[in-house]
Structure 1
Amino acid sequence: MRCGSAGSGREQALSEVIGFVLIIGIVMAAFSLYLVYGVPLQGRENEINHMNDVQDQFIAYKINVDSLWTNHQTGLAISTSFPLGTAGQTAQGSTSIIPILQPVGSSGSLAINQRTTTPEIFTISSTSYISNTSAATSVGPISIPTTQTYSNAPSSLLINLSTPNAFWNITSTGGTPGSVAITGSGWNVSVNVTPDISDCLIASSSNLNNVNVTYQSSCYGSDITVTVMKNGVTTLNRAVVYSNINPNTPYSINLLDAAYGLQSTITYPATMTFSTIGTPPLTSPTVTTQYAYKAQSNYTYSVPLGAIEYSASNNYWIPQSYYTQMGGVFLSQIDGITYKLPPEIIFVNNGNGNITVNIIVIAYDPANSGAIGGTSPAQVSTSLDSNSGSLPYAPVSPNTWNASINITTPDPNAATMWANYLNSAANQTGGIPTTYYTVGTVTNGSYIQLNGINDGNPHITLQVAAANLSANVQSAGSS
């Protein structure tokens, strides 16, 4: 019996040990499962959230740069902070007190002008009218009434007129103030001498119940106004250009002033009929055409674009890089490059083979270079250089026969992305038929060639501005 009792005691002790070992095994299994699945899942979520934060910072940076350019704030520096890594800072929960149960924090690097081994270059070449005020030419003045055909868009189209008498003298003799009427295809304009007696009245009062109105001496009471109609709809009605005009004094009105909205309406070649209205007529009204530009073939502008790029050293999520270039925000990863915000190249189909292309070439000074890595935030300081501004394409519409836009890059993924964007922006967004352009990739980049209608006349309106930036990167909080 004693032997049996002793054996039973040993069995009970052994069962307790086995039970404890089983509990330890279960705990270790749960611990291992958490390490294998839970920690990587948490690390993946942290890194995805961090990359979303980086994307938001690049979008904020792009908005700040746009503000610099739009407001022409040369020499004014803006600063944007970028978080370089997670560094476990987003890990939370009761397990955070045990380091091994937290995901390993990732790091990153922020660099300027180091995206590729050789610079990525933007080039635009065209056959265009280029502004040349030193060689400006004028045609006229030509007496009105007349009919004129303009093969090319003028820089300005001046209606020159004067009145032979004061307004009061005209009305007292039974006459009416004069007008010049200009008629084109689908539009017409009248430049009018408009009576306005309010120009000559002066109101004065000693109290609210006693108001005296007197006539101002040496006042003629007439304005020059402009009325514009497009396709039978009045778009501008008696807009005052000159107030209280003097008789026998010449005045000029530029019909192509942007305020009248005719530049985008008139297509060339254009035939215009000029006529006069009023008895007695205006004093020998005339029209003068001015051309402050000349045609230039193969006019070329080329600049290294540069970029600001963030590269993440992710431990649990796919390797990703964000960068800003040409005003766009791009995401680069193993399977290619896509844009989160499009670059500053916009195409518009104006119909009848007429195309408008608006480009802002945002480029970083190639002399700027730097990189910073780690887990702490980094700061980018950026300023707009004083040599920024519009390129000398003539401010007439259309101003270009053909244009070629090329992006040179050693990165084949970037070349593919640029070709896809140019095609999408031209055709899907801009509505330009594919018969008016070709797009593709070459060994060292991508391109789009714009032609419009090949009838010997310009059909492309090209508007290009250069926004040259200087930038540097430093640790946040450093001087």
Structure 2
Amino acid sequence: MKFFVREEALSEVVGFILILGLLTIAMSMYVVYEVPVQGEMDEIDHMNGIKDRFVDYKISLDSLWINSLGVENSGANVNFSPYGINLGTSFVMGTGGGFKTGGSGIAPLFFPVPSAGYMTVNQSDGHILITKNNDAANPVFDKDIGKMSYNSQNNYWLDQEYYYQMGGVFLKQTDGVTARVDPTVSFYGLDGGTKLGVYIIPVSVKCPTISQSVGGSGPVMADTRYKNEGQYPPGTVSAQSVQIELTVKDSLEAVVWKKVFQSALWREGVYNPDWYDITFPGSRSVKIDILGPPGSTGDDVQLSIYNANFSVTLQNVASSLE
């Protein structure tokens, strides 16, 4: 009996293994290169959304204290007062959105790993001290300003922190801090530029429990109420010089406040360094001394302060019903 060797079946097996190997290589390249790119784009879009939410939050809070101007002294004729109004703002922590998608459940390797984050409000994270004529023993204004922040926990992109402090929106990274929306500090010329006005709203963010943090993924609600603590001090204060000192979390935040002060002065056309002096009394402190016109001995600096206080609480929000 003769036996014949046939290789048709062997060639089919080898072909199938080669096709399977090519598919494995293609899928591996997709997972290694394409998935991280998708994850990075998702996290960039998410952080841009966080920035927009903080800007909206800043605008909403500004509308409350602006509408309260003059309410304290208007007596019984007040038809509307923003005090006690609750403002609810939802922030989404992470790119997962708090729910799973069908695609990620079927083939999780082909989808980016969702990121997370955490929201924090801390009323002691920031302090402002305002004096006149360098009289530290009798401050004009002295209080905590606090801060509300969102910290990312990204998997594919650099981590960022967006925070709201004293009416401004800031972006913090490892290499520094940038003011995305300037806080409520302004300078303006008076009497043909012979005097300098200082207008500041020390917006404070307080928390019933001093500080609070919520972490994870999905939406979190920031409930904010405008509290009536009155304007302090009333009216405008005249002085030979005015000092504003801010103590913040670290040196990076102190440096950005120097830029904020300089930008506010330059917008008004005050470029002469003899009119002001900016120093760093400590590693976490920055101080601006508004001196007014050089050589003057009169009260050439006009200081106006309006007090705005907000109470903030954080709570998780269910993103879907099972």
Q: TM-score, normalised by structure 2?
A: 0.85
**As a proportion of its length, which structure holds more strand?**
1
Q: SS at 2:20's partner residue?
A: helix
Match of 2:93 among 84, 103, 106: 84
Match of 1:347 among 187, 190, 196: 187
The structural deviation recorded for 1:123 is 1.1
Q: SS at 2:264's partner residue?
A: helix
1:414 and 2:253 correspond? yes
Higher Cα Rg, which structure: 1
The structural deviation recorded for 1:400 is 2.1
Change in Cα spacing, 1:380 to 1:93, as seen in structure 2 (3 Å) is closer
Partner of 2:221: 379
The structural deviation recorded for 1:418 is 0.9
1:59 and 2:47 correspond? no
Q: Deviations over 1:426-449 (max 9, x none)?
A: 12x121122201113232311111
How far apart are the structure 1 equivalents of 2:125 and 2:14?
68
Q: SS at 1:83's partner residue?
A: strand
Partner of 1:214: none
Partner of 1:112: 121
The structural deviation recorded for 1:452 is 1.0
How far apart are the structure 1 equivalents of 2:97 and 2:136?
60
Q: SS at 1:458's partner residue?
A: coil
How far apart are the structure 1 equivalents of 2:38 and 2:98?
12
1:312 and 2:321 correspond? no
Contact in 1 for aligned 2:236/2:305 (Cα 8 Å)? no
The structural deviation recorded for 1:315 is 0.7
Partner of 1:468: 309
User: What fraction of aligned residue pairs are identical, expressed as a percent?
Assistant: 34
1:23 and 2:32 correspond? no
Partner of 2:129: 123
Where in structure 1 do 4 or more consecutive aligned residues deviate above 6 Å? Answer: 88-96
The structural deviation recorded for 1:297 is 9.0
The structural deviation recorded for 1:61 is 0.8
1:47 and 2:43 correspond? yes
How far apart are the structure 2 equivalents of 1:345 and 1:88?
36
How far apart are the structure 1 equivalents of 2:154 and 2:100?
15
Change in Cα spacing, 1:476 to 1:94, as seen in structure 2 (3 Å) is closer
Partner of 1:356: 197
Contact in 2 for aligned 1:369/1:472 (Cα 8 Å)? no
How far apart are the structure 2 equivalents of 1:342 and 1:376?
29
How far apart are the structure 1 equivalents of 2:218 and 2:63?
27
Deviating more after overlay: 340-349 vs 384-393: 384-393
Aligned AA (2:217) = T
1:457 and 2:295 correspond? no
How far apart are the structure 1 equivalents of 2:198 and 2:64?
22
How far apart are the structure 2 equivalents of 1:370 and 1:74?
23
The structural deviation recorded for 1:94 is 7.1
Q: Deviations over 1:32-80 (max 9, x none)?
A: 0111111111111111111111111111111111111011211111111
Q: SS at 2:241's partner residue?
A: strand
Q: SS at 2:296's partner residue?
A: coil
How far apart are the structure 1 equivalents of 2:86 and 2:104?
44
Aligned AA (1:467) = A
Contact in 1 for aligned 2:236/2:302 (Cα 8 Å)? no
How far apart are the structure 2 equivalents of 1:89 and 1:477?
8
How far apart are the structure 1 equivalents of 2:288 and 2:261?
7
Q: SS at 1:377's partner residue?
A: strand
How far apart are the structure 2 equivalents of 1:35 and 1:309?
33
Q: Deviations over 1:445-468 (max 9, x none)?
A: 111111012321111121111101
Q: Deviations over 1:156-198 (max 9, x none)?
A: xxxxxxxxxxxxxxxxxxxxxxxxxxxxxxxxxxxxxxxxxxx
The structural deviation recorded for 1:476 is 2.3
If asked which structure has higher relative contact order (CA below 8 Å, sep 6+), I would say 1
The structural deviation recorded for 1:410 is 3.8
Partner of 1:332: 172
The structural deviation recorded for 1:353 is 3.5
Contact in 2 for aligned 1:78/1:382 (Cα 8 Å)? yes
Aligned AA (1:313) = Q
Q: SS at 2:22's partner residue?
A: helix
1:435 and 2:277 correspond? no
